[in-house]
Amino acid sequence: MPFGIKFGAEAKPEELEDESEELLEERAARRPTYDVPFVPIRVSDFDKLIEKGGVEKGTNFLLSGGCGTGKSTFAMQSVYNGLLAGEKAVYILFEESDEKIKRHMRVNFGWDLEKFEKLDRLAILRINPFKIARSVEASLVKQRRALLIQVEQLELPFVPDKIVVDSLSALSVAFMGNTENYRYYIKHMFDSLNQYDSINFIVSETEQDPGIYSRTGIEEFLADGVIVLYNVKVGMTRKRMLEILKLRCSNHVKTLVPYNITPKGIAIDYDASKTALEELGAKK
């Protein structure tokens, strides 16, 4: 059966119509199950938006949104609350300095990241994106005809429970419009993240009301989940809304959900989502 699915003798599709519901249930019970642990994201009420109350270990999230929507705050809040629960995390920066992000998180939200650095449970790594771009270019030129192209691996100080890459916007600028090289590296990055069995957030800057959620489209295709943060203009004000656009491992809420950025971090108002959506529709 070219391009089709070959069934075993026990499950021929022409036989299914004649089987009783009891026999079908018995067969379903004999199917193998895969016990993959689900872990919470730990950002306000975000886990209530997911049917299973968390996501599979090894999930790669694309975290997209416009300027000022709180993408870095969302990612760091998940990291910080995870650290409080005993997790380990690596935060990779392509643009902002580690001292600056630690200062902002401490002043704005009271999150003491240095304490966990001293305990060797948090590592904040500043990586030069132009060095990565040059490395990819040199590797492709040297091994253009090779089946496997080697790119310098990033060595992490420990095996983390969460990894954040912040952000793809700074990385794409370093490739200076060379979309082919950039797409190659993004594929390599996702493949590398998969080996850690961690929850990974890859931050992507978009327009305020995006129709495209990444620079080239390959990022959202490779990701297991896509979270979009909106800052919607309504009259003379803006309302922040969150959407789970994609999630492979579990069913999830399909509506836009309001959130605010407070002195304690992102606060998701799941209970008020329907009211906020009705109000938004009435004002348009």
Q: Quick: pLDDT tens for 34-59.
A: 677 899 999 999 999 999 999 999 99
CB 59 within 8 A of CB 249: yes
The whole-number average pLDDT for the span 249-260 is 92
Q: In what order do the strands lie in the sheet with 89-93?
A: 122-126, 89-93, 162-166, 199-205, 60-65, 225-234, 237-247, 257-262, 265-268
Inform me whether the pLDDT recorded for 109 exceeds 50.
Answer: yes
Task: Give how far Cα 115 sits from Cα of 91, 100, 111, 119, 172, Å.
Answer: 15, 16, 9, 7, 32
Instruction: State the pLDDT confidence band at 94, using cuts at 50, 70 and 90.
Output: very high
What is the overall mean pLDDT for the chain? 82
Q: Give the span between the Cα atoms of 257 and 240, in whole angstroms.
A: 8
Q: Give me the CATH code for the 67-223 domain, please.
A: 3.40.50.300
Per-domain residue ranges of the chain: 67-223, 230-284
CB 271 within 8 A of CB 258: no
The whole-number average pLDDT for the span 49-77 is 94
- Identify the three-state secondary structure at position 201: strand
Q: Could you read off the pLDDT of 178-197 as tens digits, one per residue?
A: 888 898 889 889 988 988 89
Q: Say which residue the tokens 């990586």 belong to.
A: 127
Pick 51 or 213 by higher pLDDT.
Answer: 51
The whole-number average pLDDT for the span 146-152 is 45
Q: Poorest-confidence range of 69-73, 101-105, 251-255?
A: 251-255
Provide CB contacts within 8 A for 1, sequence distance 6+.
Answer: none
Q: Buried (b) or exposed (e) across 199-217, using 16+ Cβ within 10 A? A: bbbbbbbbeeebeebbbee
Radius of gyration of the chain measured on its C-alpha atoms:
22
CB 77 within 8 A of CB 266: yes
- Identify the three-state secondary structure at position 44: coil
Q: Identify whether 167 is preceded by a cis peptide bond (ω within 30 of 0).
A: yes
Crossing angle of helices 179-194 and 129-142, rounded to 10°: 100
pTM value > 0.75:
yes
User: What percentage of residues in the chain have a pLDDT greater than 70?
Assistant: 75
Instruction: State the pLDDT confidence band at 26, using cuts at 50, 70 and 90.
Output: low
Position 6 scores a pLDDT of 28
Please, which residues bridge with residue 243 across strands? 228
Pick 233 or 227 by higher pLDDT.
Answer: 227
Pick 7 or 73 by higher pLDDT.
Answer: 73
Instruction: State the pLDDT confidence band at 143, using cuts at 50, 70 and 90.
Output: low
